Amino acid sequence: MLAAELGVNQQAISKIENSETIEDNLLQQIAQVLGVTAEAIKNFSEEAVINIISSTLHDNAGSVNNNCTLNFNPMDKLFEVIEENKKLYERLLQSEREKVELLKSK
């Protein structure tokens, strides 16, 4: 699926998967096919999820007990990020399944 959408063969996809870096224009195309942002792919890590949650917390300057004020529920943001990453994982998994089927058919 991914290979067909990008107009390349499965070997090209395997090469991309094994690359340490991907050109920005190719990353944009892959992100579009997968239905996620290029930034989501670039920043995909557990650390990124933690950073997003921690960036939503603002401590009250001068507060003795250092209470935090939340603009929104950090769990909602966490679930949003998890859902986006889940979609990315499912699309990548489907691509791998298609690659296996293609290899089996040869």
pTM: 0.44
For residue range 61-99, list pLDDT tens digits in order: 444 445 555 566 677 788 888 888 888 988 999 999 998
**What's the chain's length in residues?**
106
Q: Where are the chain's structural domains?
A: 2-105
Q: What's the CA gap between 40 and 32, in Å, rounded?
A: 11
How many Cβ atoms sit within 10 Å of the Cβ of residue 1? 14
Query: Mean pLDDT, to the nearest integer, of 6-30?
Result: 88
Q: What's the CA gap between 74 and 57, in Å, rounded?
A: 8
- Residue 34 DSSP SS3: helix
Which residues pair with residue 70 across a beta bridge? 57
